């Protein structure tokens, strides 16, 4: 009987793996001019406004895939169309190698690209490096009762943004994940539901509108941003709005999940989403021939990472988990964390020490990865029943970071995605000496906000050092009725480097003698003291 079962398994496996996955690229979009003339036929007004705010023009990538091309591919013998992408002008198909190769004869097909790289004519065959399977999976001051979730927000100084009423309001985050059961019923999501902050979603895996289903990974991910249960859990962006997209098929590992992610990212773009959180990563697949290699982690090779770069070029910010392979023989980041513009987030514990599971860099082409860190060990999240529990993984450090980015961008809506991204990196505690475990370190969102606050938005009773980061000099805005004082600047190790008297007539301090890096300052006068950080750049 055992032999029979083994034989049946081999037959089934042979049948499954004889079916190949491939991307079929098209060479034209015949109806382009119609969409250039009528952009609202493909993008919402909010999406167009986001583009306009960042001076991003509509281009060929925005035009939908020609449906007649897709129809002809569907009619081809033995071919199933699994997904489509307007950004890539391609469809993801499944069929035999011969039937897929036959599609190259169609006049509108420019290229056939097999997921099994050894089947591509110009491919250099490389054996995938296996890693252990991992589980992917004028303001009113606000003082939330964060409860046990305080540490993961306070680590980023996010509570200080919340106190200034920057809680993500007006920003939209798309969560691309494995499922969201309980979000429509559990108490920690009641605040989102009652304020109509769940804007919609879609199940790309099953091709239906039921997104309150699937694996609860997405539920926990969402809770770390949008959850709210007083004295237990406050998400990093409790007043942001959310789209929930299921792109991960937890029953198998197949490259089609990359294509489904791209479809969802395109949908997010068209809806005017500001931030995409991806607590997913792809490296190994059930069919070893599809698995990626470290040499492909260069941001320009895989289907998903190339699309992530396009998503960034549309004006969105992409935040993704670095991966949970840190303790394996292949500890490096996975797709799409390798993309250059993605903010890949590693995991630290509550004491800001990197966890053993957090994937490391660099990317294959030598770039610092991950970019930043947040709490991913014993992160406070909600389960589908509304219980407040802890969870481990960069899957949670990523949304904790994404929520704070929404709050910062709310404070500075005129800034581009690139400016916000750069500001976050420059506010991080290892910016002057990054490495491939911590990246640029743990961002200080209060510092990032202070770097851009204009004097017009500062009360006459406030003290502010600007600009920050600074090159040659900094200026000091003094509170009303402020007398003489002294500004001290210290190295990160506590060594005093600068001491200067500050008055209303002499508010400028030279930094020309300082090397690039992070410094501490302290301002003292009678009855007044304030400390903070300064970043010196070249």
In this structure, of 390-399, 408-417, 488-497, the range with the lowest mean pLDDT score is 488-497
Weakest mean pLDDT among 58-67, 125-134, 214-223: 125-134
pLDDT computed for residue 446 by the predictor? 87
Cβ-contact 299, 339 below 8 angstroms = yes
Residue 12 pLDDT exceeds 90:
no
Predicted confidence at residue 22, as pLDDT, reads 98
The better pLDDT of the pair 376, 1 is held by 376
Q: For residue 528, what pLDDT band results from cuts at 50, 70 and 90?
A: confident
Averaged pLDDT score across all residues of the chain: 89
Q: Which two tokens stand for residue 425?
A: 């990196």
Task: For residue range 324-344, list pLDDT tens digits in order.
Answer: 999 898 899 999 999 999 999
Using a 10 angstrom Cβ sphere, with 0-12 exposed, 13-18 middle and 19 or more buried, the burial of residue 410 is buried
Of the pLDDT bands very low, low, confident and very high (cuts 50, 70, 90), residue 481 is low
Confirm if 529 and 522 have CB atoms less than 8 A apart. yes
Report how far residue 178's alpha carbon sits from residue 314's, in angstroms, rounded to the nearest whole number. Answer: 24
Q: Is the pLDDT of residue 401 over 80?
A: yes
Mean predicted confidence (pLDDT) in 147-173: 94
CA distance 466 to 474: 6
- 529: tokens are 């003291």
Report residue 25 CA to chain centroid gap.
27
More confident of the two residues 474 and 147: 147
Question: 62-71, 189-198, 233-242, 509-518: which has the minimum mean pLDDT?
Answer: 509-518
**What is the C-alpha separation between 479 and 490, in angstroms, rounded?**
23
How far, in Å, CA of 323 to CA of 282, rounded?
9
Find the radius of gyration of the CA atoms of the chain.
25
pLDDT at 472 over 90: no
pLDDT at 486: 87
Given a cut of 70, whether residue 450 has pLDDT beyond it is: yes
pLDDT in tens, 285-294: 999 999 999 9
Given a contact cutoff of 8 angstroms between Cβ atoms, the answer to whether 485 and 502 are in contact is yes
Task: Say what the pLDDT of residue 478 is.
Answer: 67
Contact 406, 275 (CB under 8 A): yes
Q: What is the pLDDT of residue 453?
A: 60
Q: What Å distances lie between residue 238 and 139, 197, 225, 277, CA to CA?
A: 17, 9, 6, 15
Averaged over 399-406, what is the pLDDT? Answer: 98
State how far the Cα of 373 lies from the Cα of 358, in Å rounded to an integer. Answer: 10
Total residue count of the chain as it appears in this document: 538
Give pLDDT, residue 10: 42
pLDDT higher than threshold 90 for residue 261: yes
Say yes or no to pLDDT of 240 above 60: yes
């Amino acid at each position: 009987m055992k032999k029979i079962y083994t034989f049946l398994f081999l037959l089934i496996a042979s049948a499954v793996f004889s079916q190949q996955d491939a991307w079929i690229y098209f060479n034209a979009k015949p109806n382009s001019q119609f969409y250039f003339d009528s952009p609202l036929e493909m993008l919402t007004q909010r999406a167009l406004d986001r583009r306009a705010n960042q001076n991003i023009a509509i281009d060929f990538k925005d035009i939908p895939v020609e449906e007649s091309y897709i129809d002809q591919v569907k009619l081809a013998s033995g071919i199933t169309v699994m997904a489509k992408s307007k950004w890539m002008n391609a469809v993801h198909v499944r069929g035999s190698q011969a039937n897929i190769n036959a599609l190259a004869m169609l006049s509108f097909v420019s290229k056939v690209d097999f997921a099994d790289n050894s089947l591509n004519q110009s491919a250099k065959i490389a054996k995938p490096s296996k890693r252990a399977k991992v589980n992917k999976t004028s303001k009113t001051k606000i003082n939330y009762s964060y409860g046990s979730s305080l540490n993961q927000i306070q680590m980023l100084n996010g509570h200080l943004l919340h106190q200034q009423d920057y809680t993500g309001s007006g920003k939209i985050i798309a969560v691309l994940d494995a499922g969201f059961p309980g979000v429509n019923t559990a108490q920690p999501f009641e605040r989102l539901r009652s304020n109509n902050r769940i804007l919609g979603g879609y199940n790309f895996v099953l091709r239906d509108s039921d997104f309150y289903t699937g694996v609860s990974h997405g539920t926990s991910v969402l809770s770390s941003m949008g959850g709210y249960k007083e004295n237990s859990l406050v998400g990093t962006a409790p007043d942001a709005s959310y789209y929930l997209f299921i792109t991960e098929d937890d029953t198998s590992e197949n490259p089609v999940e990359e294509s489904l992610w791209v479809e969802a990212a395109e949908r997010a773009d068209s809806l005017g989403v500001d931030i995409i959180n991806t607590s997913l990563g792809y490296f190994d697949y059930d069919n070893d021939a599809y698995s990626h290699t470290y040499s492909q982690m260069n941001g320009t090779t895989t289907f998903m990472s190339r699309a992530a770069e396009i998503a960034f070029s549309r004006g969105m910010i992409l935040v993704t988990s670095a991966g949970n392979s840190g303790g394996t023989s292949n500890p490096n980041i996975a797709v799409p964390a390798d993309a250059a513009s993605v903010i890949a987030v590693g995991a630290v514990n509550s004491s800001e020490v990197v966890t053993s599971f957090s994937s490391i860099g660099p990317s294959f082409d030598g770039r610092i990865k991950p970019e930043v860190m947040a709490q991913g060990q014993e992160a406070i999240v909600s389960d589908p029943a509304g219980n407040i529990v802890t969870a481990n993984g960069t899957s949670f450090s990523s949304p904790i970071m994404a929520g704070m980015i929404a709050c910062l961008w709310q404070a500075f809506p005129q800034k581009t995605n690139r400016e916000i991204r750069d500001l976050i990196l420059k506010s991080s505690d290892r910016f002057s000496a990054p490495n491939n475990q911590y990246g640029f370190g743990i961002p200080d969102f209060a510092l990032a906000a202070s770097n851009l606050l204009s004097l017009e938005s500062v009360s006459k009773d406030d003290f502010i050092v600007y600009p920050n980061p600074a090159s040659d000099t900094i200026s000091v805005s003094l509170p009303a009725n402020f007398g003489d004082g002294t500004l001290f600047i210290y190295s990160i190790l506590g060594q005093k480097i600068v001491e200067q008297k500050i008055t209303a007539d002499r508010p400028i301090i030279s930094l020309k003698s300082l090397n690039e890096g992070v410094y501490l300052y302290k301002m003292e006068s009678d009855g007044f003291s304030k400390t903070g950080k300064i970043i010196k750049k070249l």
